[in-house]
Structure 1
């Protein structure tokens, strides 16, 4: 298979598209033929190993893992003998933030990780692009007991994480106050915000409303 490979840290120019061996799924893993993947903040940080502390996870002098890529969408090509959640031919998407590897034609991921069937109304590209922000937003939301009828303030409501947080908080029944600029008010309303603060007109740190989160 072909993959985008880097063996030294640096700018995008250190990446090379090379042939490498196709991964073989272990007993609990799914082999996916990747149709779409993103380049996000995690990839950029690992490529350059910045901040320096990243090197304690990725390799002190050179990267231990030579293929980047966290978000993916594709089709299951093969499953390990203990896999029960997926079968060959399933259209799936997911987020692999430990092993990385989606910047390749094929990748493996454990069936217990963040992988799911793609909804029928999403393309591969749309599915892959929806993942990083929602992954981080959901991790934060899962750290609270419950959101139903709670007042939640979301600053930066139009970023990848913020826009996902608005939608997920709405799903869990929160009363959402979202902070954005004038041009994005209509978008944030469509995502489910109950109240919107235009930061170009108002300082949200000075309002009297009390928030649970």
Structure 2
């Protein structure tokens, strides 16, 4: 099979498509033919690994796991003899999180992995792009104890995590202010944002509005500078403050919301698998709207 191999840490050109052995299916696994995956900000962080802590976790000189990619959609082609939850031919979505491995033509996963059938009202491309942003947004919004009636600000509202966070905050019953550039105003309003602020023109912390929860979805603000925009009991949370672990219940909730018409994925660009290094270059610029999808 073909796989996008991260041969070493560095710029996007370290990603090379190579022929590798198709994984062998164990008794408790399924073999999935990948139809679509994504390149996320997390993939770029793993690939360039400029932080020592990342190298300590994933390999000092090169990644221990050389196939990146954390979310995918596809079709089950082979099932192990102990599989009871899925059958051959099922269309699925999956989230591997930090276990990665999605940037390949095939992947094997346990039937107990973060894996479920694909939402019926989504294409493979659309459904490949709900897990990373959705589960990350859920993790941090819950960490901030989001609840109905709150005034919530989302900084970096137009990316993969931010676009999910807007929709999920509305699902939880919050009033949402989205902070992004002016070119993304129409997008964030279409997702449910009640108010918008152009960060290139205004500093949200100096406008006088107080928020019950401020969520930095890109890790580019600071708690100290945001403090004056919080209510007395308000909370500041940031994606820079930890990692969201993959969770099947969260993926099932996202699927339920998608099928109920309460959540959609936002796709900026679709690249063919052969152009995955170009996709890394685009994502690393930091200006994408929603998600960048790779089609196989």
What TM-score bracket applies, with the shorter chain setting the length? 0.7 to 0.9
Q: CA RMSD in A?
A: 2.2
Q: Which SS does the other structure have where 2:128 is aligned?
A: helix
Q: Deviations over 1:140-187 (max 9, x none)?
A: 123244421222111121122111100011111112122233332222
Which protein has the bigger helix share? 2
Q: Aligned partners of 2:30 and 2:167: how far apart in 1?
A: 29
Query: Is 90-99 or 16-25 further displaced after alignment?
Result: 16-25
Q: Which structure would you say has the larger RCO, counting Cα contacts within 8 Å and 6 or more residues apart?
A: 2
Pairs within 5 Å for 1:7-18: 7-18=7-18
Corresponding position of 1:108:
108
Corresponding position of 1:128:
128
- When residues 141 and 30 of structure 1 are mapped into structure 2, their CA distance, relative to the original with a 3 A threshold, is farther
Q: Aligned partners of 2:68 and 2:58: how far apart in 1?
A: 11
Answer whether contact 1:95 1:135 (CA < 8 A) is retained.
Answer: no
Q: Aligned partners of 2:180 and 2:168: how far apart in 1?
A: 17
Matched, 1:153 2:153: yes
Answer whether contact 1:5 1:68 (CA < 8 A) is retained.
Answer: yes
Answer whether contact 2:97 2:132 (CA < 8 A) is retained.
Answer: no
Q: Aligned partners of 2:207 and 2:60: how far apart in 1?
A: 46
Q: Deviations over 1:7-58 (max 9, x none)?
A: 3333333333222222234454332110111222222222232223211111
TM-score, length of structure 2 as denominator length: 0.65
The CA deviation at 1:200 is 4.6
Ranges of 4+ aligned residues in structure 1 off by more than 4 Å: none
Corresponding position of 1:183:
183
Runs (5+) with no aligned partner, structure 1: none
Answer whether contact 1:95 1:115 (CA < 8 A) is retained.
Answer: yes
Q: In the comparison of the two structures, how many residue pairs are matched?
A: 213
The CA deviation at 1:107 is 0.7
Matched, 1:42 2:42: yes
Answer whether contact 2:7 2:16 (CA < 8 A) is retained.
Answer: no
Q: Which SS does the other structure have where 1:158 is aligned?
A: coil
Q: Aligned partners of 2:115 and 2:142: how far apart in 1?
A: 17
Corresponding position of 2:119:
119
- When residues 78 and 178 of structure 1 are mapped into structure 2, their CA distance, relative to the original with a 3 A threshold, is same
- When residues 84 and 209 of structure 1 are mapped into structure 2, their CA distance, relative to the original with a 3 A threshold, is farther
Runs (5+) with no aligned partner, structure 2: 214-296
Corresponding position of 1:142:
142
Q: Aligned partners of 2:163 and 2:174: how far apart in 1?
A: 14
